Amino acid sequence: MGKRTALYDTHVAAGARLVDFGGWDMPVNYGSQIEEHHAVRRDAGMFDVSHMTVVDLDGVQTRAFLRKLLANEVNKLHEPGKALYSCMLNERAGIIDDLIVYYLRNDWFRMVVNAATHDKDLAWIGKQAQPFGVKISERDLAMIAVQGPNAREKAVRVLPADARASALALKPFTALKYGGFFIARTGYTGEDGFEIMLPPAQAAELWQALVREGVAPCGLGARDTLRLEAAMNLYGQDMDENTTPLESGLGWTIAWEPAERDFIGRKALEAQRQTGTKRRFVGLLLDDKGVMRAHQKVMADGAGEGQITSGTFSPTLERSIALARIPAASGDAVQVDIRGKLCKAQVVKPPFVRNGKILIK
Amino acid sequence: MSKVPADLKYTKSHEWIKDASDGSVTIGITDHAQEALGDIVFVEVPQKGRKLAAGEACAVVESVKAASDIYSPVAGEVLEGNAGLSDAPEKINADPYGTWILRIKPANPTDLKALLDAKAYEQMLKDEA
């Protein structure tokens, strides 16, 4: 038996199909995964993401610590509540995890890191924090992601009355705290919406209230097709400790300026930036029938071989899409080895879909 | 609990087999199998005339989640693959027992007797749960 979130009984009662995800028993779908996907693209859906790790960082040197720990620059955060996406690197610039960090006060930041990397993340953060005297506390919070074009409008109706106006006024990638609630305008689907953290004891009640507002319960299956269409990387699949942000389509998350900021992994990244990467991270669109999957080989004529890191059937495009790491010299036409059969695919610039719109031809 | 019609034969790998009583059988996947796979988006069927050994992978059903091989329950020859599935693979989810994937002519009709009956398949599902 895996770990259970505060919403486990709610999922079981709703007839969810449960799978193991990073040691947690999580819903993969309730009914049709494709319908759940469309609910998020067209209206509003919600995900139990309480398995994710919420860590609070306290201490006067927290900002200085994060400027060392993260490849992105927390000094970009000026307004309390503002969020930043970043990679946390090892000395070789390999990615230990990707995360969101929220600036709350100069001596208080909150980070949300992946569930599957919980133990190694906390060990690494704890070790690096020591010289800065920063206190690390893991928070036991439930988290519900409400996503879709109508998500915010529906979600505010079930929030405490006093919090509604300020929640609606949140700008993208900002958050507010209201009592035990932490409401962020963030997500992992390529749609607008909120991620709401709250005390576990209140999670089931909020979930049911959202159901009554017409928000569709969605499983990790739809979450995966949505994030893949939006070309948002999945840790452990599209990147890990053996790949750098430059090889993972995440160059935009590296803050090179100011040049004197000595974040962990910087030296190795600078070296790779000088010599250039041998592989590039791209999107693939399958021309033939079939479904591309992680670990399948990509053949680029004359340039060598690459590999699919994530692949699926895209419910919005109604064909298979993938993220892949291919030789830098690859052309735009490649072949994918799908179960022994060579299928034609085009190299495209991700994302495939954002805010309900198809972005590739 | 998933449906298990009494008039069909079954395999441990979740195929159902319907005897057409004309020397041919149709093969599909069970309600349990379609439910586990989730939304089916692609089906690859074998060419007519292909000779199959018992237990040989002879078709592929792909859902959003995963690809799954379909195994021939008995030795035989492919009479046809269900061409209609190319445009409507989701029919398998909607009506798993009304949607066959391939039709074969068993090499030895007596082989069918060794397959699971509904009761045995149902028991197997219970044991697996």
Band of pLDDT at residue A104, cut at 50, 70 and 90: very high
Q: Which amino acid is at A275?
A: T
> Measured between alpha carbons, how far apart are the two ends of chain B, in Å?
10
Give the separation between CA A316 and CA A285, rounded to whole angstroms: 13
Is the confidence at residue A295, as pLDDT, over 70?
yes
Is 90 exceeded by the pLDDT of residue A1? no
Go through chain A and tell me how many residues it has: 361
For A338, the closest chain B residue by CA position comes to B67
CB A38 within 8 A of CB A84: no
Q: Is the dihedral of CA A169, A182, A162, A7 positive or negative?
A: positive
* pLDDT tens for each residue of A225-259: 999 999 999 999 999 999 999 999 999 999 999 99
Which positions ≥6 away from A227 have C-beta within 8 Å?
Answer: A188, A189, A190, A234
The answer on pLDDT for A133 being more than 90 is yes
The CA-atom distances, in angstroms, between B64 and each of A220, A291, B99 are 12, 8, 19
Asked if residue A294 has pLDDT above 80, the reply is: yes
pTM flag (> 0.90): yes
Helix (H) or strand (E) holding A307: strand A304-314
Chain A residues in contact with B65 (beta carbon < 8 A): 28, 33, 221
Please tell me the distance from the alpha carbon of residue A8 to that of residue A4, in angstroms, as a whole number: 6
Q: What is each CA distance from A55 to A139, A226, A350, in whole angstroms?
A: 6, 26, 31
Mean model confidence pLDDT for chain B: 95
Compute the average pLDDT of residues B46-57. 96
Alpha-carbon distance A220 to A27, whole Å? 6
* A298 within 8 A of A324, measured Cβ to Cβ: yes
pLDDT at position B129 is 78
**Chain A, nearest residue to B41 by Cα:** A313
Nearest to B62 among A29, A33, A291 (CB): A291
| pLDDT digits 0-9 by tens, B13-28 | 999 999 999 999 999 9
Cβ-Cβ contacts under 8 Å, B86 against chain A? 289
Q: What is the mean pLDDT of residues A161-189?
A: 97
CB A169 within 8 A of CB A159: no
At A255, which amino acid appears? A
pLDDT digits (tens, 9 = 90+) for A28-45: 999 999 999 999 999 999
CA dist., res. A50 & res. A192, Å (int): 19
Helix, strand, or coil (residue A239):
strand
pLDDT of B1 above 70 = no
The residue in chain B having the minimum alpha-carbon distance to the alpha carbon of residue A291 is B62
Residues 51-80, chain B: which have Cβ within 8 Å of A?
60, 62, 64-67
3-state helix vs strand vs coil in chain B, percent to 5? 25, 35, 40
3-state class (DSSP) for residue A38: helix
Answer for the pair B53, B85: CB distance below 8 angstroms, yes or no: no
User: Which has the closest alpha carbon to A307: A273, A274, A330?
Assistant: A330
Q: What is the pLDDT of residue A44?
A: 98
Q: Does B88 touch chain A (CB under 8 A)?
A: no
A347, β-bridge pairs: A284
Q: Give yes or no for residue A55 having a pLDDT over 90.
A: yes
Does B93 touch chain A if contact means CB atoms closer than 8 Å?
yes
Q: What is the pLDDT of residues B56-71, one digit of tens each?
A: 999 999 999 999 999 9
3-class secondary-structure state, position A171? coil
Mean pLDDT for the stretch of residues A166-189: 97
Interface test mutation site (partner A, options B2, B41, B47, B69, max chain A beta carbons within 10 A): B41
What is the spatial distance between Cα B103 and Cα B106, in angstroms, rounded to a whole number? 10
Which whole number is the average pLDDT over A197-216? 98
How many whole angstroms from its chain centre is CA A257?
24
A313 lies within 8 A of chain B by CB: yes
pLDDT band of residue A204 (cuts 50, 70, 90) is very high
Q: Is the predicted pLDDT of residue A361 greater than 80, yes or no?
A: no
- DSSP H stretches of helix in A94-194: 118-129, 151-156, 164-168
Q: What are phi and psi of A231, to 5 degrees?
A: 55, 45
Q: How far apart are CA B66 and CA B39, in angstroms?
A: 10
